[in-house]
Chain A
Amino acid sequence: MNASTYRLMGRVGGRAVVSSSSGQNGARQGAGNGAGGASGQTATWTVKAGLAQMLKGGVIMDVVTAEHARIAEEAGACAVMALERVPSDIRAAGGVARMSQVDLIEEIKAAVTIPVMAKARIGHFVEAQILQAIAVDYVDESEVLTPADEQHHIDKHAFAVPFVCGCRDLGEALRRIGEGAAMIRTKGEAGTGDIVEAVRHMRALWGGIRRVHAAPEEELATLAKEYAAPLALVQEVHRLGRLPVVNFSAGGVATPADAALMMQLGADGVFVGSGIFKAGADLAADARVRAQGAMAAAIVKAVTHFGDPMMLATVSRGIAAPMRGVSAASLPAEELLAGRGN
């Protein structure tokens, strides 16, 4: 029993099923509850990458309780990431970070109407199977959790649920897309509140895209070798002048200005982890909740008006102190998360 013989074929009658048939990419004919009546085809690439299109221009927020999820939705989040601990707490706690408890994810799903995402460990395809079985809307195969496989990522084409994966440059992005990721996020350095790594990765990604886009056709094979990326995807980037999927920024956004910075650098939207629910840490409980809601709403507005400095000044008024943060450069190499998975 391994991933190559057992392909996850998605849900029948609301339950996840594992099928031993291979050679299919997860697309199903008329199997969903709602689509059956329309003879629709679920879990196609268009449908998987399409949800990410709907999230664009939005903010996806890390939440650890149903209460957080409601605050995020109220503030205008376009989706939430259900977690047991935000990355700065994962960093502080140490130990092994795993997929969140199923009960917690289900509680959060029940609390909001916006899409709910959850993280699986890199290479841990059974955590991903479980997340698909409980019908999360997106799985993040995430370096923030402790990797389960140091060599291989999950075969994401085999799933009906779409995946988002982290990257630090173009090659890493295209390798993940080649494995089936329907959405990419630059990694940054999660849980630091330091934007420097997010900027580094976004600049590296766009630098690679511009280089491939400008290169003559006959140099693409060599570039594919250099980036260790599938040639077909390098050719597609050459043609499009962008990634073939939506790309968000993650890892270090702590203020509305940080969020707008990443948008101006070419992100389609942002993930905010510790930046919201670690804000206003010095305040009393009630004031802290209000401050976190205000920070969340301000970041949402900053992403909408990312190119308008007057509007950014307006939305930045009256927000509490952002998370304290830790300089990414001060962290020892073994505590950096972005290097996990390549």
Chain B
Amino acid sequence: MLALQGDFREHIAALHAIGATACEVRTAAQLADVDALILPGGESTTIARLLIAFELLEPLRARLAAGLPAWGTCAGAILLARRVPGLDRPPIGVLDVTVDRNAFGRQLDSFEAELDVAGIAGGPVRAVFIRAPVIREPGPGVEVLARLADGRIVACRQGRVLATAFHPELTDDRRMHAAFVALADAALAAEGSAA
């Protein structure tokens, strides 16, 4: 769990609730120890600066290039994207999409909505959007997982990298966390059999 700034504690609580092991990552040494990484909600400008200040950006890019499963929620999704208009630091750039920050307006325009997410069985999830981004221009390897009623993309996946514009960690619904843990387990198993 990337723990530079944001709501990483809520993610850790969600992971613990489904029996997964989770720890906080603030240094390159801690990053080297994890099998999968969640990038939490928070302020993307703040986290982008801290990634650089604590020399985490390059190690993180290297691990993602080597197949580390990752999931970014909101600010985390912004940081994973390849193209982020207006972000004054380079994003990690592993996900072939454009992400528009604060795409809905200011805090007064933050909202909740019922959302069907591909691969999540059992009905729609309650999706919480807080000063949220939207995803557009998905590249050829990107699978769109969820759209708002007006068609805008709010969840996608490219290989082992997952991005959501909303915050499953702020609700009691653990299906998205379970899906990410399953993705990470499958990745580990694949590497185990390859090795």
Contact = CB atoms under 8 A, between A and B. Distances in A.
Interface of A: 10-11, 32-35, 37-44, 46-47, 50-51, 53-58, 73-79, 113-115, 132, 135-138, 160-162, 297, 300-301, 303-305, 308
A35 B5 contact: no
Contacts of B130: 47, 50-51, 53-54
Interface of B is mostly: loop
Interface string B1-19: 0011111111000000000
Interface stretch (B98-106, B137-145, B156-164, B182-190): B98-106
Candidate in B8, B128, B130 with the most chain A CB atoms within 10 angstroms: B130
Contact of A162 (B9, B105, B107, B109): B107
B43 A114 contact: yes
Contact of B148 (A37, A137, A301): A37
Interface of B: 3-10, 26, 41-43, 45-46, 49-50, 53-54, 74-75, 86, 101-113, 128-131, 148-152, 167, 170-171
A33 B104 contact: yes
Nearest to B74: A54
A38 B106 contact: no
A91 B148 CA distance: 49
A50 B111 CA distance: 10
B84 to A, nearest CB: 11
A308 B27 CA distance: 11
B45 A38 contact: no
A301 B46 contact: no
A291 B65 CA distance: 38
A42 B5 contact: no
B9 A34 contact: no
Contact of A34 (B4, B26, B104): B104
A301 B53 contact: yes
A40 B50 contact: no
A51 B110 contact: yes
